[in-house]
Amino acid sequence: MNVEQTALKDVLLLHPRVFGDERGFFMESWNANTFRELGIDADFVQDNHSRSARGILRGLHYQTAHTQGKLVRVVAGSVFDVAVDLRRSSPTFGRWYGVELSAENHRMLWVPAGFAHGFYVTSEVADFQYKCTDFYDPASEVSLAWNDPTVGVEWPLPAGATPQLSGKDEKGLAWGEIPLFN
C-alpha cells in the first residue's frame, strides 16, 4: 500500500498493491494493521454501497454529531471524488481536494471526520463503496451546496451540463450557513 499526502491536511490517497494474475486480481481494501501504520487508526462500524448513473452528484455531505471518517473507493466505473476541510483550526480550512477514483485505478481516499464529502459520476454507472467510523445519523446530516462559490469546487462537468442531484442536495446550504468544526 502506497500512501500519498494530498493538498488537504489528513486526507490521504491510498494506492493499494494489486496482485494481478491469469484469474484477475487481488488487493487488500482494508487491513487494520497496515492502515494503522499509515496513520489511519479507524474503528469502522458501517459499510455502504451506492450505485449511480453518469452525471449524478452526491454531496457534499457530513454529520455534525456522530462525525464520520470515511474510507472510500469505486468498484465499478469512475467518479470525481471531493473532500472539503471544515476544521477551523486546520491549515487547509475551507479548501477542497478532488481526485478520480475508479475501478481501474483501485485508488482509495481516506476522508477523516471534519470534512464534507461528495462525488460526481464520470462513467455510465459507478458503484461506490465506503467504510465509516460512525453510524448514519440523519438528524445531524448537513448538505453543503456542491456549487458553493466560496468553496469553488471545480467539478469535471461537460460544458453546459448540470449534475443530477437528490432533493436534499438541491437544497444544499451555502458555506456561510453551515456548522463548522474547531
Ligand X SMILES: Cc1cn([C@H]2C[C@H](O)[C@@H](COP(=O)(O)OP(=O)(O)O[C@H]3O[C@@H](C)C(=O)[C@@H](O)[C@H]3O)O2)c(=O)[nH]c1=O
* Catalytic positions, written as ranges: 61, 130
Give the nearest distance from C-beta 118 to ligand X in angstroms. 5
Q: Which residue is nearest to ligand X (CB)?
A: 136
3-state secondary structure 165-181: CCHHHHCCECHHHCCCE
**Of 5, 19, 166, 177, the one binding ligand X by CB under 6 A:** 166
Q: Which residue has the cell 471524488?
A: 81
User: Which neighbouring-strand residues pair with 80?
Assistant: 100, 120
Handedness of CA 139, 64, 109, 154 (dihedral sign): positive
Give the nearest distance from C-beta 174 to ligand X in angstroms. 18
x/- string (CB under 6 A) for ligand X, residues 102-141? ---------------xxx----------------x-----
Q: In the complex with ligand X, which residue's Cβ is closer, 106 or 117?
A: 117
Pick out residues in 63-92 that bind ligand X (CB under 6 A). 70
Give the nearest distance from C-beta 11 to ligand X in angstroms. 13
CA distances from 99 to 32, 121, 155 (A): 24, 12, 10
Give the nearest distance from C-beta 168 to ligand X in angstroms. 6
Q: In the complex with ligand X, which residue's Cβ is closer, 34 or 134?
A: 134
Pick out residues in 15-74 that bind ligand X (CB under 6 A). 48, 50, 58-59, 61, 70
Reduced to 3 states (helix: H, G, I; strand: E, B; else coil), residue 4 is strand
Q: Which residue has the cell 491469469?
A: 22
Do 94 and 60 form a contact (C-beta atoms < 8 A)? no
- The dihedral region occupied by 5, where left means phi > 0, alpha psi between -120 and 50, and beta the remainder, is beta
Residues touching ligand X: how many (CB under 6 A)? 12
Q: In the complex with ligand X, which residue's Cβ is closer, 73 or 117?
A: 117
Reduced to 3 states (helix: H, G, I; strand: E, B; else coil), residue 99 is strand
Where along the sequence are the contacts to ligand X (CB under 6 A)? 48, 50, 58-59, 61, 70, 117-119, 136, 166, 168
